[in-house]
Structure 1
Amino acid sequence: MTPRSHCLLVTLLASALLAACSTPPTTRVVLLPQADGKPSAVVVSTEDGEETLSQPYERATAKLGAHGAPNVDKADPERVKQQNKTLFELMPPPAQSFTVYFEVGGTVLTAASQVTMNEALAAALARSGGEIVVTGHTDTVGTQARNDNLSLTRALEIRQLFIARDFPPVRIEAVGRGERDLPVRTADEVAEPRNRRVTIEVR
Structure 2
Amino acid sequence: MLYTSAQGTVELRQAQQATLLHGPLTPYLVDPVVLRRDAQAAIDAQPLLPRTFIFHFDTSDSKITKGSESLLQQVQEELQRRQAPDVSITGHTDTAGEARRNVQLAQGRADHVARILKPYLTNALSVEISSHGETNLLVPTANGVNEPRNRRVEVVVR
TM-score of the two chains, using structure 2 as the length reference:
0.72
Indicate the SS of the match to 1:182: coil
Identity within the alignment, %: 26
Q: How many residues align?
A: 138
* Alignment partner, residue 4 of structure 1: none
RCO comparison, higher one (Cα < 8 Å, 6+)? 2
Deviation, structure 1 residue 77 = 6.5
Provide runs of 4+ in structure 1 moved above 6 Å: 58-63, 73-77
Aligned equivalents of 1:107 and 1:59: distance in 2?
57
* Alignment partner, residue 41 of structure 2: 86
1:196 alignment partner AA: R
Indicate the SS of the match to 2:130: strand
Indicate the SS of the match to 1:133: strand
**2:141 pairs with one of 164, 183, 186:** 186
Q: Deviations over 1:19-56 (max 9, x none)?
A: xxxxxxxxxxxxxxxxxxxxxxxxxxxxxxxxxxxxxx
Aligned residues: CA RMSD? 2.8
- Residue pair 1:135, 1:175 contacting (<8 A) in 2 also: yes
> Cα distance 1:110–1:62, how it changes in 2: closer, same or farther (>3 A)?
farther
* Alignment partner, residue 152 of structure 2: 197
> Cα distance 1:125–1:77, how it changes in 2: closer, same or farther (>3 A)?
farther
> Cα distance 1:119–1:84, how it changes in 2: closer, same or farther (>3 A)?
same
Structure of higher CA gyration radius: 2
* Alignment partner, residue 52 of structure 2: 97
**1:164 pairs with one of 106, 119, 133:** 119
TM-score of the two chains, using structure 1 as the length reference:
0.58
**1:122 pairs with one of 73, 77, 101:** 77
